Chain A
């Protein structure tokens, strides 16, 4: 028997105690002064109406019905004075006297009330929204007071990866990197300095790359590092993965007034 399905069909009673409790309340009597005969009658009637409606009845309800009938019969019949035989144990409900039943009902009632209290707390609590970024909008504040989000960062990483793959693909036909390095870096540092002086302002890294091939990117990067080491340029990056700006040392990083470029243009 599927109890879950049963619970859905008859959501009112969470179990035989719940049903009994309801009946007692309806009768407007105190748990401790319930007439077993009466309550048994009502309980059975309820079970019967469930049967008529063709509702599945959970076994617990039937066990309770049997228990009630046994209690009732025990009260009607004179007690057999057979010592030691004991009462056969009701394994599931373990109710052997009206007192047992009252006790259990009382205990159940307390927890039912506690459950009611929790339900009220749940209702109140559902009205309070707690901060949750759901992993989407976590903003990291970097030291330079600029920011990026994880996801922005991830997108840029993807972009870098894509370009690397492309570059690597085109690089296949190009000579190996160590061969390029020697002669190319010096060429490239000269080219970078010339270009910076020409423009007289900070330039983004990508301005120094003509063909986006892997060796070219690497050589340009090494050249920039070399110039930095020689204290000829500054490299500026306002945020992680952000564009890299290249500035000549001793010049203004960004053109404040649109000034005429240096007089040494073209040489």
Chain B
């Protein structure tokens, strides 16, 4: 198959999919290697940028997904005025941050770090499918353990959890004096 056709196919697949598509999956569909697909996507990304398109291919949650350029948001928002979902609260953000870095983690562990009870926050995060219950921790009480979901990665536009910045250590004072 010609390279030009391969490129068209990759573009078409990304256009059709509403979820991030893994390079492996695209490779499977058009019988290419994963590396070839990655190269094509890179080409497409550059081409999109160069030719001034309103779309771009983003790397999200371990796959690729087409989306609009951020600078178009003020106009595009007019299309969806009533439906733009609310932002997450500070409490939700703190809780999510702890889960993202320490997963799998129990509710007690989260509460101990935040110094606040977290039941409601956990419930709403579960409802928004940003976190999930992974199972139970062995040990007394067998508490539930929580971890983040692929939707978490999508929500924040992350390729994978490694994209989270390293936690910044304290201001040089190190451990207990």
Contacts and interface: CB of A to CB of B under 8 A. Distances in A.
B81 to A, nearest CB: 13
A111 B156 contact: no
- Chain A, interface SS category: helix
Contacts of B35: none
Nearest to A103: B176
A31 B96 CA distance: 24
Given A14-B94, A16-B115, A115-B94, A131 B164 contact: no
Contacts, number: 139
Contact of A108 (B73, B115, B168): B115
A107 B114 CA distance: 9
A129 B116 contact: no
Contacts of B113: 104, 107-108, 111
B18 A130 contact: yes
Given A111-B97, A111-B113, A126-B87, A32 B170 contact: yes
B131 interface: no
Contact of B116 (A16, A115, A122, A127): A16
Contacts of B84: 126
B93 interface: yes
A132 B83 CA distance: 13
B55 to A, nearest CB: 9
B165 to A, nearest CB: 6
Contacts of A124: 70, 157
Interface of A: 3-4, 7, 11, 14-18, 30-33, 58, 60, 64, 92-94, 99, 102-104, 106-119, 121-133
Interface of B: 15, 17-18, 58, 65-73, 76, 80, 84, 87-91, 93-94, 96-98, 100-101, 111-117, 120, 155-158, 164-165, 167-171, 173, 176-177
